[in-house]
Amino acid sequence: MAKTALSTSEEEPRRSNARKVAKRRFGRVRKLSSGRFQARYLGPDGVDRPAPETFATKKDADRWLVLKEAEIQRGDWMSPERGKVLFSDYAAEWIDDRVLKPRTEELYRGLLKNHIAPTFGEYNLVDIKEADIRRWRKERLGVVGQSTVAKAYQLLKSIMGTAVDDERIRRNPCRIKGAGTPDTPEREMIPLAKVLEIADAVPSRYRALVLLGTFASLRWGELAGLRRMHLDVDGGVVRVVGALAELDGGKLVDGTPKSWAGRRTVSIPPEIIPDLRVHLDEFAEPGEYGHVFVGPKGAMLRRSSFRRIWRKVQAEVSLPGFRFHDLRHVGNTLASANGASLKELMTRMGHSSTRAALIYQHGSKERDEVIARALGQAFKKARDIEPKKPSGTPRARKIMKF
């Protein structure tokens, strides 16, 4: 009888475990003919779904169901079908749905066509993983420049971020720290005398263009789109409210600055006002709506046409790598070196974020030397008024001991 009782007691845990399996609270696990295990569950939408993969052990399948149940209870669950959308279709729709500047839209479509879609165009959103992004970025860095890859990565990250907001995917797979910010070297700061050389080297009709680009911190598009009514030489200010964009196909689009912060009023140094007056009298279009800067035949200013002139100037002043946009860099650096605050720089530059303005807060070498001299004077003054202590005092001996 004792043997029979022991046998019964041994069987009891097995029956108990069997009842627990039979009464599983969430999902089901079954063994497949391959020997692997499949997990299934009933989603909040009433659809019975299998796990996306099978498992080597029943324990692994059970663990997956536990995590899936917790996901549903937290409210993080989303239908897998939501992410089964072709990236190429979703990305095209992403661009179409946004109000973009013509030049920005052209840039995005070019990045998508040439750098992103060839790799991810036929992927479903849900199938794009972090490892795929890392491999894609490394491959691109071996083909094109870092700046282009950074722009493409930032666009991809924005598209996938919207997919998260749209509940197409759970989280953004673009998680490479710093990948959207190119590590571009700091532009060389040329002496102000070189700027004057450039102003003398360009044809007379472009002298004011150089001076205003440098000392009013205007972008090329803002200069090309500037009209007479927005240049107040009597008041010494320029109001930036428009910008001329030149698309890759050559089309010119008269629009607005890059951002709302780009709409600004900038003070002009009095010293360049005479040059601006001469320019308005001799070269600008007539009438208050006339463009301040136009080509030799009166057409709107094109960067592509001016590029040939600029190359000759680069050679003449021995600055082969110097870009027209670098004039703005010179002006911003000078403003910072002469005490402009971060907020003042942001306003003058037309930036809504501090990132670009902070570049110019490093100060110039000359400014740093001025600061060092001021600190030295403060030290000298403090030293001169400090009471003298006899060298033989206990404190003096203690200091010498150390």
Task: Indicate the domain borders of the chain.
Answer: 26-69, 87-165, 192-360
Q: What is the pLDDT of residue 366?
A: 56
Are 26-69 and 192-360 equal in CATH topology? no
Q: What is the pLDDT of residue 174?
A: 96
Structure tokens at 133: 């992004």
Cα 342 → chain centroid: 19
Q: Catalytic annotation on 24?
A: no
CATH of domain 192-360: 1.10.443.10
pLDDT of residue 401: 41
pLDDT confidence of residue 10: 53
What span, in angstroms and rounded, lies between the C-alpha atoms of 335 and 217? 10
87-165 is a CATH 3.40.50 domain: no
pLDDT digits (tens, 9 = 90+) for 315-343: 999 999 899 999 988 888 888 777 777 77
- Look at residue 307 in the predicted model and tell me its pLDDT: 93
Dihedral sign computed on CA atoms, order 31, 33, 35, 38 = negative
State pLDDT tens for residues 244-298.
888 877 788 887 776 666 788 888 999 999 999 999 999 999 999 999 999 998 8
Q: Point out which residues pair with 28 in neighbouring strands.
A: 40
Catalytic residue among 325, 355, 373, 397: 325
SS (H, E, C) the chain: CHHHHHHHHHHHHHHHHHHHHHCCCCCEEEECCCCCEEEEEECCCCCEEECCCCECCHHHHHHHHHHHHHHHHHCCCCCHHHHCCEHHHHHHHHHHCCCCCHHHHHHHHHHHHHHHHHHHCCCEHHHCCHHHHHHHHHHHHCCCCHHHHHHHHHHHHHHHHHHHHCCCCCCCCCCCCCCCCCCCCCCCCCCHHHHHHHHHHCCHHHHHHHHHHHHCCCCHHHHHCCEHHHEECCCCEEEECCEEEECCCCCEEEECCCCHHHCEEEECCHHHHHHHHHHHHHCCCCCCCCECCECCCCCECCHHHHHHHHHHHHHHCCCCCCCCCHHHHHHHHHHHHCCCCHHHHHHHHCCCCHHHHHHHHHCCHHHHHHHHHHHHHHHHHHHHHCCCCCCCCHHHHHHHHC
Which amino acid appears at position 218 of this protein? L
Active site residue 328: yes
From the candidates 219, 230, 329, 348, give the one annotated as an active-site residue: 219
* Residue-level pLDDT at 282: 96
Strands 252-255, 48-50: pairing is unpaired
Q: What is the pLDDT along the chain (402 residues), one digit of tens a residue?
A: 444 444 555 555 555 554 444 467 899 999 999 999 999 999 888 889 899 899 999 999 999 999 999 988 888 888 888 889 999 999 999 999 998 888 889 999 999 999 999 999 999 999 999 999 999 999 999 999 999 999 999 999 999 999 999 989 989 999 999 998 876 666 667 888 999 999 999 999 999 999 999 998 899 999 999 999 999 999 999 999 988 888 877 788 887 776 666 788 888 999 999 999 999 999 999 999 999 999 998 899 998 889 999 999 999 999 998 999 999 888 888 887 777 777 777 778 776 666 665 566 554 455 566 666 777 777 777 777 755 555 554 444 444 343
**pLDDT of res. 397:** 42
Of 83, 103, 86, 382, nearest to 221 by C-alpha is 103
Rounded-to-integer distance, Cα 253 and Cα 291, Å: 14
Residues 243/256, Cβ–Cβ less than 8 Å: yes
The tokens of 207 are what? Answer: 């002298």
Please identify which of the residues 137, 207, 348, 351 carries the catalytic annotation: 351
Closest CA relative to residue 243, chosen from 142, 359, 350, 170: 350
Q: Are strands 37-42 and 237-240 parallel, antiparallel or unpaired?
A: unpaired
Cα gap 15→300, rounded to integer Å: 89
> Is 351 marked active-site?
yes
pLDDT at residue number 271: 92
Spatial separation of the C-alpha atoms in residues 164 and 158, rounded to whole Å: 10
The model carries a pTM of 0.65
Helix crossing, 192-201 with 207-215: angle to 10°? 150
362 catalytic? Reply is: no
Selecting from 3.40.50, 3.40.1000, 3.30.160, 3.30.360, what CATH number does the domain 26-69 have?
3.30.160
Instruction: Give the pLDDT confidence of 5-31 residue by residue, as tens digits.
Output: 445 555 555 555 544 444 678 999 999
Catalytic residue among 279, 328, 329, 348: 328
Q: 169: phi > 0 → left, psi -120 to 50 → alpha, else beta; which?
A: beta
**Structure token pair of residue 93:** 């729709």
pLDDT at 334: 83
What CA–CA distance (Å, rounded) separates 243 from 253?
8
